[in-house]
Structure 1
Amino acid sequence: MRKKTVRRRTTVTRKSKKKSVFVTKVIRYLSWVLVGIFLVGIVYHYREGLAYYFSFKSNKVLSEAEESKHFSDVRNFQVLEKSEGKTIGLDVSEYQEKISWSYVDTLEQKYPLDFVFIRATVGNDRVDSEFKRNWLGAKENKMIRGAYHYYRPNENSIEQAELFIQTVTLKKGDLPPVLDIERLPKNQSIDSLKIGLKRWLTKVESHYKVRPIIYTGEKYYDDFLKEEFSDYLFWIANYNFYREEIQDEWLFWQFTEKAKVPGIKTNVDINIYNGDLQQLRFITVD
């Protein structure tokens, strides 16, 4: 009886192992099928961008840097195609090094670049090293220009506003000033941060007689700014591949940080204005 019992247990164990191996193979096979379907879906979704990209680039020798950003280029094209009729621009700082402004005209030799936001100041003590040159260069290139301040949460807000005011002179046809807020404070509460932001915005608006625009990331906007700063217009950054159209409530959308533009050696951010060129001119300084 003991021997028979042992044999039966062994048989059951072998059958269980075989069944387990079979189930594992089936699961693995189905996983690969699902991955394949997903990839086919991605290719189909971006089919126009892929067709445009490879037809446009096929007669060129691509550098390693260009090859590494194929997907970004395709997604950028997809976004631009869905933004037909809207105005396209860029934003720059000293990180773009010396810009040859006379060459800054189009993206992918197809989409005109009509406006540019230029970083002017950082915190309460630093002027962007390329601001003056970029500010003049953009004007000479007949682009609609705007200046922005990178806000440091742990520094005095009034001092930051004063530095921006001392640095930037807005003229007729320039865009409203921009407050760039991206980080959370280290030594103060969120409520204190919001008080500081409002002080900066109020002082700058009082000086230029125009309400500033706020730049931030989509999550930061949703979590901290959307409700209490609803009186302001927003410039939102979101580079996620699934986001392909600007939201109705956004004034500007920074949809990529990996674009190549003539006259600029480095990658650069590209933005979409939620309207046409005539509407963009309407919001400029009188």
Structure 2
Amino acid sequence: MRSLALAFLFAACLGLAGCSGGSAVDALQIAGPSAETTSAIARPEATIPGPADDAAPADLATAGMTALAPVPSVQPAALRVPEAPRVYRSRFDDAHPVNFGRIAPHHHAVHGVDVSRWQGEIDWPALRRHGANFAYIKATDGIDHIDPMFRHNWQAAARAGVKRGAYHFFYWCRRASDQAEWFIRNVPKEKGALPPVLDVEWNHQSSCKWRPSRAEILEKMQVFLDRLERHYGQRPVIYTTPDFYRDNLRGAFRDYPFWLRSVAAHPSEVYPGRDWVFWQYSGTGLSQGVDGKIDLNVFNGDEKAWHRWLARVAG
């Protein structure tokens, strides 16, 4: 009887371990790679890796090997709620600092940058530690130009743990629908990415000298914004400058998030009555990880608001 009881207990333990192992494997299931086209030029099939892509095969293999192990006394790491990304305090400097008065950029908890080819080779881990909790990366403009550093910056920023998004510089002498398709063709649709940005401003150095009417501008913008929102499932952000906003955007697009350039005064003075998500407060920033100057920005909210916003728009 004693040997039969021991055999019964041993079989029951195996059954419990098997059930536990199966649930752990289920919790570790990872979606397959996206088939999104990310380049106008044909290249070998590859996905832009996220921060955890390289670790996924090893995790799955380990889960399979430990399926019959005793049930652990603590919750497996794969089943825990993922921690919110760490917010690094800003240690940026400025080549030409401005006194913004009562509400200054340093009063904001979450700082970030925007970059393009002009920043050259960026040390993204160093830039993040110095205060870049988010980055908007120049992707495209018009219907045929892609920033030559976009793909490299897109991948490197993700590996460094920087929350990043892409922006398109709008060219007024081209159709809005064609520009939207060009952006979609070159910018991946990835879970966790920040909403795409439409950059609208007057470019005095552009070969396009045509200035559409306000009605034409609003129509073009709406076409572009609608197409991106349908594709990415995120409401795009509108970036603009004081003169362009004054000429065209006052009172428009009330239900869109705005990213405002204001390097001489607080946005409330330059864009009265306009809510904003991001404020670009400097074009002469200095930081570890970058040679030369870089644009500096802040998020409109504290750390808790930042994490809530990320969960809502980039979850």
TM-score, normalising length: structure 1 = 0.67
Structure with higher Rg: it is 1
Give 2:111's aligned amino acid.
I
Deviations 1:192-219 (A, max 9, x none): 1221111111111111111111000134
1:123/1:150 contact within 8 Å kept: yes
1:153/1:183 contact within 8 Å kept: no
**Local SS of the residue matching 1:262:** coil
* Alignment of 1:103 onto 2:149: no
Which of 260, 278, 283 aligns to 2:307? It is: 278
Deviations 1:127-164 (A, max 9, x none): 00000000001000001001000001111111110010
Name the counterpart of 2:12.
none
* Alignment of 1:163 onto 2:188: no
1:101/1:141 contact within 8 Å kept: yes
1:154/1:188 contact within 8 Å kept: no
2:100/2:266 contact within 8 Å kept: no
Determine the C-alpha separation between the residues in 1 that align with 2:291 and 2:187: 25
Determine the C-alpha separation between the residues in 2 that align with 1:147 and 1:165: 11
Name the CA shift for 1:245/1:87 in 2 (closer, same or farther; >3 Å): farther
**Local SS of the residue matching 2:228:** helix
Name the counterpart of 2:107.
82
Name the counterpart of 2:279.
253
CA RMSD after TM alignment: 2.6
Name the counterpart of 1:230.
254
- The structure that is helix-richer by fraction is 1
Written as runs of structure 1 = structure 2, the 5 A alignment for 1:109-258 is 112-183=131-202, 186=210, 188-240=212-264, 242-243=265-266, 249-258=275-284
Give 2:242's aligned amino acid.
E
Determine the C-alpha separation between the residues in 1 that align with 2:153 and 2:308: 24
Q: Among all aligned residue pairs of Structure 1 and Structure 2, give the percentage whose two residues are the same amino acid.
A: 31
Name the CA shift for 1:74/1:255 in 2 (closer, same or farther; >3 Å): closer
**Local SS of the residue matching 1:119:** strand
Deviations 1:62-115 (A, max 9, x none): xxxx9x93xx246489833332xx3110000011111121221244xxxx3210
2:267/2:279 contact within 8 Å kept: no
**Local SS of the residue matching 2:240:** strand
Give 1:105's aligned amino acid.
R
Written as runs of structure 1 = structure 2, the 5 A alignment for 1:9-88 is 69=95, 72-73=96-97, 75=99, 79-83=104-108, 86-88=109-111
* Alignment of 1:266 onto 2:282: no
**Local SS of the residue matching 2:292:** coil
**Local SS of the residue matching 2:289:** coil
Determine the C-alpha separation between the residues in 2 that align with 1:245 and 1:270: 18
Determine the C-alpha separation between the residues in 2 that align with 1:153 and 1:227: 21
Determine the C-alpha separation between the residues in 2 that align with 1:264 and 1:187: 35
**Local SS of the residue matching 1:192:** helix
Name the CA shift for 1:76/1:97 in 2 (closer, same or farther; >3 Å): farther
Where do 5+ consecutive residues of structure 1 fail to align?
A: 1-55, 57-65
Determine the C-alpha separation between the residues in 1 that align with 2:162 and 2:122: 14
Name the CA shift for 1:76/1:128 in 2 (closer, same or farther; >3 Å): farther
TM-score, normalising length: structure 2 = 0.61
Name the CA shift for 1:245/1:88 in 2 (closer, same or farther; >3 Å): farther
